[in-house]
Amino acid sequence: MADSASPGTKVLSVFKLVMITSAFVISIRNMPMIAETGLEMLFYTSIPAILFMIPCGMVSAELATGWPQAGGVYVWIREAFGERWALLAMWFLWVQMFFGMVMILSFVASMWAFVFNPGIATNKVYLIIVIIGMYWLLTFINFGGMKASSFISTWGVILGVFIPGGLIIVLAIAYLIQGDPVQLGFAAKESSFVPDLANGNTWAFFTGMVFVYAGLEMSSVHANEVKNPQRNYPVALFLGVLLLLVLNIFGSVSVAIVVPHENISLVAGIMQAFTDFFHHFHLDWLVPVIAFLAALGATGQVSTWVLGPCKGVLGVAKRGDLPPWFAKTNSAGVPTNLLILQALAISVVGLTYLIIPGVNEAFFLLLIMATQMYIVVYLFMFGAGIKLRYTFPDVQRAYKVPGGHIGMWIVAGAGFLTVLFCFFAGYIPPQQISGQISALYKPFLIIGMVVMGVIPLIIYQFRRPEWKTATDTQS
């Protein structure tokens, strides 16, 4: 059984792959959060980009063009460290997104409410219906395969990310040309640009900013569906990196220029920033329009994540490391059983988030645990980049991290040490966690990581030879 797809499945152009990559990592939701830090945003956007995002893009580009088979990160870790640890990493990558999707879907629900009736934005019944209903709808749409998924991702990113993000930047330029008062101070004081590095909250926020850039490598699961992946994949990846930097930095600066610092609300989110922005320019009628576009963009982002991690888990199942039930696909090559199981899991998380009283702190803990799982994946990925340079030096890589072995050690090492730091920083309770929950914080994360890590290891230990035979029969 070959890992790569047949030639007929090469359905993704560079443009479509750029849109899919952008859908994984670019969002306008983060702009108010970044803008709220004032001039310190230059530290919070540039340092994580240098130490994490750029290494992630460079290493994943080399690995994807050297091993462009279905499975992405799983394939790279398998080749470097074996199937057991590849299964563990892929499992973590899949499970962590259950919790993140509920948060994104909550944002989508609030955007749609802002378009039609802002008063229902906090209605639990409404939120439950939108979160669960929309995810199941996107799940069934993704049954159509990459053509349907890439269409939604492409237009979702264009309408919901690039247009609103570009509009904020254009309006900020117009604001500056008019000579209106600039809310963001540009006094060149070191304390204005660099946060208090002795403050624990600084590093908690730094960790959050690192994972604003997370997901860049996820498009690699579609590497075997790209036309000429050895050339087109790294091109698409670096274009995605460029777009992410431009929108995050210039978009956030634009918000901070126009909206007074004390009026930037992390709770109200992006729509509060848009409302203040448009009110200044007497363009209040654009607020529901932008809300509509933002909802479309977030919907496209969710659609991208519906199929992305499942494609990686499918690669694991096709190797026989999971029961053949996980490897069942339809005529479009979509893992239907996995998508249904994933939708059920997200529905359960959504119900828990919305129904149980006082669930916000508990869900915050779950999100942190999900971040810790993602960090494990990155530790393996950066380690694989280094090890495969030595164990498979003759594998042709259309793109290689420059500088030979030393260059790979520097680039992958920077990424590895950054996420390792974030892993340990994650065990420091942030200021949002207090009281009895704070006392349970570390035990919860440790027990959660151990339990979720043991599950795939038990599956691997008791895997059966007939699983691979049954998978070969299905292929």
The upper half-sphere exposure of residue 138, i.e. CA atoms within 13 Å in the direction of its Cβ, equals 31
Q: Which domains does the chain have, with CATH numbers?
A: 7-474 (1.20.1740.10)
If residue 246 lies in a helix (H) or strand (E), which one and from where to where? helix 229-258
Tens digit of pLDDT at every position of the chain (475 positions): 334 444 445 556 777 777 777 766 777 777 777 777 777 888 888 888 899 988 988 898 889 888 877 667 888 999 999 989 999 998 998 888 887 787 778 777 877 787 777 777 667 778 788 888 989 998 988 887 766 666 777 777 788 788 888 888 888 888 888 877 776 655 444 446 778 777 767 777 787 778 778 877 766 666 666 677 667 777 777 787 788 888 888 888 887 887 766 666 544 456 767 777 788 788 888 888 888 887 777 777 777 778 777 877 887 888 788 888 888 888 878 889 999 999 999 898 888 766 655 545 655 666 678 788 889 999 999 999 999 999 999 998 877 888 999 999 999 999 999 999 989 888 877 665 666 667 777 888 888 889 889 999 998 888 888 787 555 555 4
What 3 state SS string does 253-265 have?
Answer: HHHHHHCCHHHCC
pLDDT on residue 385: 96
Alpha-carbon span 34 to 62, nearest angstrom: 30
Whole-model pTM: value is 0.79
Alpha-carbon span 20 to 17, nearest angstrom: 5
Alpha-carbon span 27 to 305, nearest angstrom: 13
pLDDT on residue 65: 81
pLDDT on residue 304: 75
**Spatial CB neighbours of 462, under 8 Å, sequence gap ≥ 6:** none
Alpha-carbon span 316 to 90, nearest angstrom: 8
Say if CB 332 and CB 143 are below 8 A apart. yes
Alpha-carbon span 411 to 474, nearest angstrom: 40
Whole-number Cα distances in Å, 470 to 325, 328, 463: 9, 10, 13
Alpha-carbon span 218 to 226, nearest angstrom: 14
Angle at 466 between CA 461 and CA 472, to 5 degrees: 120
Alpha-carbon span 145 to 162, nearest angstrom: 24
Q: Which two tokens stand for residue 218?
A: 């996820």
Neighbours of 315 (CB within 10 A): 25
Q: Which residues of 113-147 are buried (b: 16+ CB within 10 A; e: fewer)?
A: bbbeeeebbeeeebbbebbbebbbebbeebbebbe
Q: Which two tokens stand for residue 352?
A: 């828990």
Alpha-carbon span 54 to 213, nearest angstrom: 9
Size of the chain in residues: 475
Q: Which two tokens stand for residue 130?
A: 């939108």
Neighbours of 223 (CB within 10 A): 26
83 by Cβ neighbours in 10 Å (0-12 / 13-18 / 19+) ranks as: middle
Whole-number Cα distances in Å, 144 to 140, 306, 330: 8, 12, 9
Whole-number Cα distances in Å, 157 to 3, 16, 184, 473: 30, 11, 28, 38
* DSSP class per residue in 278-313: HHHTT-TTHHHHHHHHHHHHHHHHHHHHHHHHHHHH
Say if CB 372 and CB 445 are below 8 A apart. yes
